[in-house]
Structure 1
Amino acid sequence: MVLVVAIATVGVAAQPAQAAVALMAGQRARALNGNFNSVPVLHSNQPEEVEGPGILITTEPGVTYAAENGAALKNAEFTFNGDFGVHMHHKYFPDYRKQIRPGERRTELTLGLILINPGQRPIQISFDRGAVRNSFEAPYLANNLMGVKPLGVRPWNTGPGDATAVQMLRGSLDRGLSETITIPARSRVVLFRTQLPALGIANALLRGRSNGPFQMAVVAASNPYSDADLVRVLDQRRLAPGRVYLNQLAAIKNRRVFSRVGGVALGDEYQASITHDLKRQGPLHVPLTSTDRHHFGTRDVQVNQLASRMIDSSLDNVGTYGVRFDVDLNLKGSGPYELVMSHPTIPGVNTFTAFRGSIQIRTPEGLQEVHVGMRSGESLSLATLNLPGGGSSYPVRVSLVYPADATPGHLLSVVPISQLAMVQARQQAQAASSPATPAPRPVAPAPRQPAPAPRAAAPPRAVNPAPARVMPAPQAARPGPAVTRPAALPRGQAATTVNPDLLDRYQEALDAQRRIMRELMQR
């Protein structure tokens, strides 16, 4: 008898690439075929690694000038009106970065989000959720908090991207961000400013609504004394240095290279629903945050389009950072199953951290929130699902706001406990035979946590709460609007404690597998 292992094949523009999820061996994934909403979101992620002050993105009409070659680049022109979102994610990599030593005080840039009202009447904007974080407030530690852990009322902070995504997932707003602001006619408002330390990260996610048309810009300034200094950066029309993809425009257009996103994407929520009978159809596998490269053989690509973009931006929102995913699984079956999240093993690519973020799982028993730290090639159990049988439907909703610094292309599965146990035991055995690779540890489902109360205590604020004031725009610049200013859980160890019951199941699964192999050899 020949044992067949199925490998999901995914397409790449130049040559096909292969990636495999061991949990899917011999099985197929189903497409979700969900939909994005049409809310426009400003994405300021290109360049991700900023090298100095300047404009990062603006949606005003016109052009700005590249620091690298002085070329005039068309802005990502877009006028927002109604519901909108903001995603900002940048690192500061100055040209002297190789000389920075641990413990030294680092220089900083100040990032500011500017709201622009080019019209003749005031525009009111309200915010219902959002957060701003930098590396001072939410340090990114590469190997911290791996595995699956309860989230708790005050969440784990594993970097600015995860910290802001948690608040968006829970629908809360930073205490330092105004719920409502007014942009006077022909004025510019610095909504927030945050520090970006050298070799550090700053991230922002916001959701708001306006009662009229406006534009937005993100700028970086060196030691600004006031909001007027941030607006002056915008008036200079010079892009911040660090746009490393300007010499790869043809490769971006032909999809041989994926740049970062600098533009306006359509969609800040993705919803999908699927019905599956586990007894009749077998285990369920569906793509979650899938891409052209990693869709697990389904051709289901969960990437939303851009309405406008800078010329060196990716062609679409391939990272889906800040997008909320709500996936409804309507399951039928009997007994315990594992809800599993996986990332593929990619041939020729070293293991890397593929996801660090927070996930909500809602079942008839209640709401469970977990923090997940996942390496490429891993399959981790998010929860145990106890299906009632008798033909009854068992609804499960999986929700997450996709965090920055994660790598899309994840698989969501519902499988018997023995199936997950055999895969993890095999991976442990393979890792043990290779001294250079640490053995991944199996992770037991995290205990259930009650749903948090609305507006849980927020971490330290990352914004400048200075009072509003008005200043005239410099006359030498283009005719311009005026400037207006409007109980922690204990840290767990990186390695997760192994559940003895799960180890027993591993051993039972291995014994069963050995018996089957002996019977096959005797035929």
Structure 2
Amino acid sequence: MLELLPLFFPVIPTAIYSQTTQKSEIVAENQLVSPLPGELNNIPVFNSNSPELVLGEGILLSTFPSDNKSDENAHLNFPFEGRFDIFAHHVSKPPTEDDKRTLYLGIIVHNPTSEPVSIDILQGASYLSQPDAPFITLPSKVEGSNIYAGPGSRVMGDILRGKRQEIFPPNIIIPAGESRMLLNLPIPIHSLTPPLNGRSSYMRLYSSGKVYVASLAMYQDTEDNPPSLSQWENLLTNASLSTPRDKAPTPPEAQGQRIYGRVAGVSQGNMWKTDLTDSPSTPLLTIPNAGEAFSYGLSTLVGGTLGTNQVQTAPLLVRYPDTAYSAHGNYSLQYSLTLPLFNPNNEAKTVNIAISTPVKQDTPGVNFLNPLPTQTFFRGLVQVKYNDDNNIPRLQYFHLVQKRGEKGENLVTVTIPPQSQKLVSVDFLYPPDATPPQILTVSTQ
């Protein structure tokens, strides 16, 4: 029986972790961490995560123009067209002890043009922490495709496997000058102890024309009475940003302790797809010498580049002044990595691939902790594809749960004949409630 944990949403990187706990010792690994080849694509992502804990009605994120709106500063005037994604991750608890209302999360899309606009929902998922995806205790690595701990883990697992949840139609038509709801769902809390719940949502979309998007918060007396479209439209026109606000971020150029802040804006890039090779002009990745290893940074960020000087964080095209300067953590961004492994030796070599969560640092090196602290820094599904030692194609899924400073177990082990090549691919969507950075490690036994 899996142990149910108290509901919580762990600290996403709003604070810096530069000190080890008294009971943990640093375990240094002598291996190189290289910048990840390639770069983010340019697909925009509507990124709604601030305030994470919603305690008041209002606008969470609006890319509408400010024309005819009561609070001009609440609207960022950013139209979407063609491919774009929507990410929303918010938590509810009663603003006061005796408040029995239910918070609804609404995502509204408006067509400002004179022609109908069609929006294809290519993939989509939205889950509550309770009861859809509670934070349960799982081992560090479990094989299986339908395993999750927390709503962010479950949503990203669905998208990784190409799913569209049944609550989403394949397509919606928005008439000229009108709006429609993409999402209109509750975050119920009053049957829970403590009364705390969260909802994670992600959609991959294609729009035939220009549209504006907003995520909104509204209270209703019950959880089975969603607000109407006109109620949402009225709130969008007349409300201000939801308060209280999250902690304001530290400016990127500041020194010392850093508050990254939470994201409310449009981030640029939904995928980092690349081949890991010896150099841009070489189609192969030469394996390490026997007993050695090398790594690539994953989701590296300001203050946590592991000596690579590479910040992979998605930039923000528009944002509110009191929210994150960039999309630290890269929540929902897909890493799609191909490793064309090459064995240059005259004998067969066995190679391992792993993902780990080393101690966050800017200086070169890979440091782990022993014993491990209690903070979970990564929980999500990873897909691996390769040909096994019998040259049979394998597609496997592993759900990983890693503490801060945890060295990950091997995801793939392949034996490569002398002077031969084997292709391995690793895919995952960076899950909400994870804390960067991570590394992808190639080691030779």
TM-score by length of 2: 0.80
Does structure 1 conserve the Cα–Cα contact (< 8 Å) formed by 2:71 and 2:240?
no
Map of 1:352 onto structure 2? 375
Question: SS where residue 230 of structure 1 aligns?
Answer: helix
Q: How many Å separate the matches in 2 of 1:406 and 1:242?
A: 24
- For residues 198 and 17 of structure 2, what CA distance do their matches in structure 1 show? 34
Instruction: Assess if the C-alpha contact under 8 Å between 2:59 and 2:74 holds in 1.
Output: no
Q: Higher relative CO (CA 8 A, sep ≥ 6), structure 1 or 2?
A: 2
Aligned to 2:201: 204
User: 1:413: Cα distance to partner?
Assistant: 0.7
Question: Using a 3 Å threshold, how does the CA distance of structure 1 residues 396 and 24 change in structure 2: closer, same or farther?
Answer: farther
When residues 350 and 279 of structure 1 are mapped into structure 2, their CA distance, relative to the original with a 3 A threshold, is closer
Which range is displaced more, 20-29 or 165-174? 20-29
**Residues 201-210 or 325-334, more deviating:** 325-334
Name the structure where helix makes up a greater proportion of residues.
Answer: 1
CA distance 1:161–1:271, shift in 2 (3 Å): same
User: Would the aligned equivalents of 2:105 and 2:186 in 1 still touch at CA under 8 Å?
Assistant: yes
User: Identity over aligned residues, as a percent?
Assistant: 27
1:50 is aligned to 54
From 266, 269, 272, the equivalent of 2:268 is 266
Structure 2 counterparts to residues 156-235 of structure 1, below 5 A: 156-198=147-189, 199-223=196-220, 224-235=226-237
**Pair 331,225 (structure 1): closer, same or farther in 2 beyond 3 Å:** closer
Aligned pairs (5 A) from 1:99-118: 99=97, 107-118=101-112
Contact 2:112-2:176 within 8 A present in 1 as well: yes
| Alpha carbons 1:63, 1:73 under 8 Å: kept | no
Question: 1:134 offset after TM fit, Å?
Answer: 1.3
Structure 1 residues 228 and 337: CA distance shift in structure 2, 3 A: same
What one-letter code is carried by the residue in structure 2 that aligns with 1:176? I
Work out whether residues 353 and 376 of structure 1, in 8 Å CA contact, stay in contact via their aligned partners in 2: yes
Q: Which amino acid aligns with 1:162?
A: S
Partner of 1:309: 319
Q: After superposition, where does 1:51-450 map in structure 2 within 5 Å? A: 51-62=55-66, 73-96=73-96, 99=97, 107-141=101-135, 144-152=137-145, 155-198=146-189, 199-223=196-220, 224-245=226-247, 248=248, 251-252=250-251, 254=253, 256-275=258-277, 276-280=285-289, 282-333=292-343, 334-345=348-359, 351-365=374-388, 366-416=394-444
Cα–Cα, structure 1 residues 225 and 29, in superposed 2: closer, same or farther, change >3 Å?
closer
Larger Rg: 1
Task: Give the superposition deviation at 1:189.
Answer: 0.4
Output the CA distance in 2 between the equivalents of 1:307 and 1:60.
Answer: 14
SS in 1 for 2:110: strand
Change (3 A) 1:402 1:63: farther
Which structure 2 residue ranges, 5 or more long, are not aligned?
A: 1-12, 190-195, 221-225, 278-284, 362-368, 389-393
TM-score normalised over the length of structure 1: 0.69
Are the equivalent residues in 1 in contact too, given 2:341–2:421 (CA < 8 A)? yes
Which residue number corresponds to residue 481 of structure 1?
Answer: none
Q: 1:71 to 1:178 in 2, by over 3 A?
A: closer
Decide which structure has greater strand share: 2
- Separation of aligned partners in 2, 1:304 and 1:227: 32
In structure 2, relative to structure 1, the CA distance for the partners of 1:372 and 1:350 (3 Å cut) is: closer
Number of paired residues?
A: 389
Is the Cα contact below 8 Å between 1:92 and 1:201 reproduced in 2?
A: yes
Give how far 1:93 is off: 3.4
Q: How does 1:490-509 map to 2 (within 5 A)?
A: none
| SS at structure 2 position matched to 1:189 | strand
CA displacement at 1:30 relative to structure 2: 1.8
Shift in alpha-carbon separation, 1:180–1:16, aligned structure 2, 3 A: closer
What is the letter of the counterpart of residue 389 of structure 1?
A: P
- Work out the CA distance in 1 between the residues paired with 2:322 and 2:127: 26
Query: Residue 94 of structure 2 contacts residue 100 of structure 2 at CA under 8 Å; is this kept in 1?
Result: no
- How has the CA–CA distance of structure 1 residues 257 and 225 changed in structure 2, closer, same or farther, with 3 Å as cutoff? closer
- Pairwise CA distance, 1:137: 3.9
Residues 133 and 163, structure 1, Cα contact 8 Å, conserved in 2 = yes
Structure 1: 5+ residue runs without aligned partners? 1-11, 418-523
> SS at 1:81's partner residue?
strand
In the TM superposition, what is the alpha-carbon distance from 1:205 to its structure 2 partner?
Answer: 0.5
Letter aligned with residue 128 of structure 1: L
Q: Which moved more, 1:224-233 or 1:340-349?
A: 340-349
Cα deviation digits, residues 200-246 of structure 1 (max 9, x gap) = 1111110011111010001111114423222222122322122133x
Aligned partner of 1:197: which letter?
Answer: P
C-alpha separation between the residues in 2 aligned to 1:48 and 1:92? 8
> After superposition, what is the alpha-carbon deviation per residue over 1:298-330, rounded to whole angstroms, capped at 9, x for unaligned?
112211111111111211111211111011122
How big is the shift at 1:396?
Answer: 1.2
CA gap 1:253/1:342 in 2 versus in 1, 3 angstroms? closer
Q: Distance in 2 between matches of 1:273 and 1:291?
A: 21
Task: Give the aligned partner of residue 365 of structure 2.
Answer: none
SS at match of 1:211: strand
